[in-house]
Amino acid sequence: MPAQPDGHLLYLSRADVSALGIEALELVNEVAACFSAKAEGHARSTSTLSIPMSAGARFVAKGGVIGSPPNCAIKWFGYFPANAKLGIPDYHPLLIVSEATKGMPLAVIDGTWISEVRTAAISAFAARHLANAQSASIGFVACGAQAYAHLELFRQLFPLVRIHAYSRRKETAEKFCTHATEVGLRAELCDTPRPVVEHSEIIITSVPHTAQPTHQLGGDWMSPGAFASMVDRGNSWDRASLSCIDTVITDDLALSGPQGEGGINFEPKRLAGDLGDVSLGRVQYSSHGRAAIIFSGAGIVDAAIGALVYQRARATGKGVLLPL
């Protein structure tokens, strides 16, 4: 990889990032390496910084230090839920990457693609360990950007044949089902979320933060051996019913555990571990039992994938060099 000129940083747009051609398996392997490194003390994450604004809006920063040589990356975004009424995104992240030996800035990266795929990659890494490897069905409660990102990744890693989909806006679910059929899957549009949970071997719930928590899904609806990824911090699930799930992990116990700040809809003391424990083989589970991961939003993954994106861009000449 050519050295970056002194006194310059690299800017990568969303189009630049998407054009890098990073494969699904690369992302999942990057997540695995990231959490293994953190569990072994070779990577560090930071507490999330949140700056509250009016009307539920806030600015957020999260990230970590990872790699050899080490890089530090921070994801920075404003979350403004009222933007939906204006027809503009409520969330648009940027990643800032610096080298971690002298502290020099390396890159500013549009974080939209990274934010979409990092979540799906975390789900896929957990599913690779906790879901049935022969799972043929996947279900989605909420059919927005996360549903598309998860479907794209999971259909490359599992022998999927059909999907079940539910969204509060029927037209959103219909559009997603059409997309699923276009990529060769059978699709069933569900009028309520219960059939999605009952009939799917893998379940993805990604109800947006802008929605009021519904706590309507039942852990007891899951079939034996099913796996759920609760991207929405479990806010679409009935908390009491989650006791029916045999093994529940999280992405990062430092955020979700008893001393954490992750705000998950689950009793932290009941967590069986986090993805670091999974990567080191410390989580025990039965292939016949129900399993789930509940997200807290670990910034270390943004740092890891951000570093991967930066390195690939430098190797392939993508992006624009800007003077400091």
pLDDT value at residue 241: 96
**What is the rounded distance in angstroms from the CA atom of residue 28 to the CA atom of residue 195?**
29
What ranges do the domains of the chain cover?
Answer: 8-114+300-323, 130-298
**Residue range 282-292, pLDDT digits in tens:** 998 888 899 99
Amino acid identity, position 20: L
The whole-number average pLDDT for the span 262-281 is 89
pLDDT band at 3; cut points 50, 70, 90: confident
Over 70: is that where the pLDDT of 140 sits?
yes
Q: What percent of the chain has pLDDT over 90?
A: 71
The whole-number average pLDDT for the span 147-174 is 96
Q: What percent of the chain has pLDDT over 70?
A: 95
Model confidence, pTM: 0.90
The whole-number average pLDDT for the span 156-183 is 97
* Widest Cα–Cα separation across the chain: 58
pLDDT value at residue 214: 65
pLDDT value at residue 5: 82
**Residue range 29-43, pLDDT digits in tens:** 999 999 999 989 899
pLDDT value at residue 69: 84
For residue 292, what are its two tokens? Answer: 């789930």
**Residue range 202-212, pLDDT digits in tens:** 999 999 765 55
pLDDT value at residue 170: 95
Q: Counting every residue, how long is the chain?
A: 324
User: E strands within the chain?
Assistant: 8-12, 44-45, 49-52, 58-66, 71-79, 94-99, 105-110, 137-141, 162-166, 186-189, 202-205, 227-230, 247-250, 291-294, 320-323
> Of 255 and 141, which is predicted with more confidence?
141
**Residue range 179-193, pLDDT digits in tens:** 999 999 999 999 999
**188 by DSSP, 3-state: which?**
strand
Assess if CATH 3.40.190.10 describes domain 8-114+300-323: no
DSSP symbol at 164: E
Q: Indicate the class that CATH gives domain 130-298.
A: alpha beta
pLDDT value at residue 262: 61
Write down the residue that tokens 């999971």 correspond to.
154
**What is the rounded distance in angstroms from the CA atom of residue 95 to the CA atom of residue 304?**
11
Over 70: is that where the pLDDT of 260 sits?
no
- The sign one gets for the Cα dihedral 308, 44, 233, 61 is negative
**What is the rounded distance in angstroms from the CA atom of residue 173 to the CA atom of residue 129?**
28
> 110-134 burial string, b = 16+ CB within 10 Å, else e?
bbbbbbbbbbbbbbbbbbebbbbee
pLDDT value at residue 87: 87
DSSP symbol at 262: -
DSSP symbol at 14: H
pLDDT value at residue 213: 57
Average pLDDT over the chain, rounded to whole? 91
Q: Is the peptide bond before 213 cis (omega within 30 degrees of 0)?
A: no
**What is the rounded distance in angstroms from the CA atom of residue 183 to the CA atom of residue 204?**
18
